[in-house]
Chain A
Amino acid sequence: MTARMDRKFADVASEGRPVLVTYFMGGDPDFETSLSIMKALPKAGADVIELGMPFSDPMADGPAIQLAGQRSLKGGQTLAKTLEIARRFREEDQRTPIVLMGYYNPIYIYGVDRFLTAALDAGIDGLIVVDLPPEMDDELCIPALQKGISFIRLATPTTDDRRLPKVLENTSGFVYYVSMNGITGSALPDPSLIAGAVERIKTHTKLPVCVGFGVKTAEHARAIGASADGVVVGTAIVNQIASSLTEEGKATDATVPGVEALVRGLSAGVRSARLAAAE
């Protein structure tokens, strides 16, 4: 539902702070723990949730998210189960937008129409599908938009002014600016460079611009949030989960509280971000 996303961005903007977008991998390390993590995120201060759909060949992801996907698949996760996590979350929370993030093949195999119907039913608001550039919009983007599900596109440092209009054309919800050329989990570049890029994108669109890839600490969140409409944190959360597991990769009592504590800190970071901008 596009409306829930737009409302959330408007509400948070009226608080005078950037949006905190949190990513985790659905089914990591198991279905129930993953559902508990998802329920804990908004309570700890997350505004938007990116729910990762595991894929055997995550070409744009670094080691941390690759391993999370492997743990999830090993635990028996499937696309249907990831949708089920969202549906169970929605029973309790009707306000937090959910964006599914992953790769195209599991969706293609599930069947695009069947997937979109199931996603709407599960309360999904948006999709990020890494390997579907605008050239492939007929596959999923256009059908999703027709059903009222946002299609959120990544813009990267290689997306120059010539290409940006094409990338933005069918984008809705928000624009996800990838802070560097590379895979998830790399180091964060200089925030001032990112601010320049956000400004550049904003001359082409009225959509909110969220920045991700490399944001790991409250301090990062604060620095990036000074210029961006939102901050996306993924690998740091996935690493937090990984560090709480037993050697066999099973959840422990520390798994959910660890994520809560991390997200609470990140949330404090975005809540002081505009102060950072004013400094």
Chain B
Amino acid sequence: MNEAPKLNSFRAGPDEDGRFGIFGGRFVAETLMPLILDLQDEWDKAKNDPAFKAELDNLGAHYIGRPSPLYFAERLTAELGGAKIYFKREELNHTGSHKINNCIGQILLAKRMGKTRIIAETGAGQHGVASATVAARFGLPCVVYMGATDVERQAPNVFRMKLLGAEVKPVTAGNGTLKDAMNEALRDWVTNVDNTYYLIGTAAGPHPYPEMVRDFQAVIGQEAKDQMLAAEGRLPDLVVAAVGGGSNAIGIFHSFLDDEDVKIVGVEAGGKGLEGDEHCASITAGSPGVLHGNRTYLLQDGDGQIKEGHSISAGLDYPGIGPEHSWLNDVGRVEYVPIMDHEALEAFQVLTRLEGIIPALEPSHALAEVIKRAPKMGKDEIILMNLSGRGDKDIFTVGKILGMGL
């Protein structure tokens, strides 16, 4: 078991300062520094504690419903006429997305640290729902910050959070989307340092969050790898996932990073096109900068002011991306591409009709990329896609755009 770490591994990061190359780090106010150092200590202990792992696995199996299935999308594959398409079905998890994997892990840490209050930010509301869910399960009060625009377009999730006993605080600053919600959560955290645990919903923020969230989500790729070997006796040729902050993507990518023959593609929100400001393609159309505790690719102007992005999908509507993705892009291991709103919308309908699965708008972006690539690949090739969430939350948005009276 005591293998020396591979020197040329893409899986070794971050370093002890939380850096992936030039990305990552700890760019936070002094008030928060002692807190994130405490969190790091606790996380370092927990990840090597068999009791912690056992509790995580137990809740994974019986509360979340892990392992999630690996599904061969037979009709979609036939329709596209190229590579075999498999979905890792994170949308079947309790609460409807991959977000719960991270929430269960972090709430166990919060408990270990003796914290008595949970705060979270949310965009699509999936992370808010998952946070409210684990807070209910562990009997802790929970406050969820959500941009006012998102409160409106994700109303069903707002209602779910309230039913679960969480307090949803709409944020009106800025455009009222995910980045503004994150600012407000950070303001809450500096004010309530003694009792509060900040449950960040994606693989971004100050160290140790990007590493920790990745490790809680890495179960997706670990399972998928085993399941793929069982189903096909080999690894996939291509792995695809949508990237908002990057947690579902890094979750499925991480296990495959050192498998040279596996091509990996992350799909960003191209919105209405990359020419203007109405997109959220941080890597494809942004540049490195510092926001929310880490250095990473950001959408910003020439003065370093952060722009408000746009995406049809509230969960991808963030002008940054987790630092590990920025690094994986710069070292050339993962390719990042944009998918436009209308392409995602089209993919959403294709999957619904062909496979009887209503996907969330976020993984619909990944699916649109799969739909582009599969026909160009051989029938003996395999694509693995992370189907990160179900579309129940999005039916009103989609219905409105398609002009269906609801």
Please give the residue numbers on chain A whose beta carbons come within 8 Å of chain B beta carbons, in ascending order.
Answer: 54-60, 62, 66, 73, 78-80, 103-110, 130-136, 153-160, 163, 167, 178, 181-183, 186
Check A136 against B35 for contact (C-beta < 8 Å). no
Residues of B within 8 A of A56 (CB): 174, 305-307
Interface residue SS majority, chain B: mixed
Minimal beta-carbon separation of B323 from chain A (angstroms): 14
Minimal beta-carbon separation of A100 from chain B (angstroms): 14
Residues of A within 8 A of B33 (CB): 133-135, 158-159, 163
Residues of B within 8 A of A105 (CB): 289-291, 298, 300, 304, 306
Minimal beta-carbon separation of B115 from chain A (angstroms): 15
Task: Offer 20 A-B interface pairs, CB within 8 angstroms, sorted by A.
Answer: A55-B305, A57-B179, A57-B291, A59-B183, A59-B186, A60-B29, A109-B289, A109-B303, A131-B28, A133-B26, A135-B17, A135-B33, A154-B29, A158-B30, A158-B31, A158-B193, A159-B30, A159-B34, A182-B31, A186-B191
What total of chain B residues lie within 8 Å of the partner, measured CB to CB? 37
Given contacts A105-B289, A105-B290, contact A66 B190 (CB under 8 A): no
Interface residue SS majority, chain A: loop
- Bound complex: CA A154 to CA B304 (Å): 23
Residues of A within 8 A of B331 (CB): none
Check A57 against B304 for contact (C-beta < 8 Å). no
- Bound complex: CA A156 to CA B189 (Å): 14
Residues of B within 8 A of A55 (CB): 304-305
- Bound complex: CA A66 to CA B194 (Å): 25
Leading 3 A-B pairs by shortest Cβ distance: A109-B304, A106-B304, A182-B191
Given contacts A56-B306, A181-B193, A182-B191, contact A133 B30 (CB under 8 A): yes
Check B302 against A109 for contact (C-beta < 8 Å). yes
Please give the residue numbers on chain B whose beta carbons come within 8 Å of chain A beta carbons, in ascending order.
Answer: 17, 25-35, 173-174, 179, 183, 186-187, 190-194, 289-293, 295, 298, 300, 302-307
Minimal beta-carbon separation of B87 from chain A (angstroms): 36
| Interface residue from A73, A108, A134, A155 paired with B305 (Cβ < 8 Å) | A73
- Bound complex: CA A62 to CA B34 (Å): 21
| Interface residue from B193, B194, B289, B306 paired with A108 (Cβ < 8 Å) | B289
Residues of B within 8 A of A109 (CB): 289, 300, 302-304
Check B290 against A163 for contact (C-beta < 8 Å). no
- Bound complex: CA A121 to CA B191 (Å): 37
Residues of A within 8 A of B31 (CB): 60, 154, 156-158, 178, 181-182
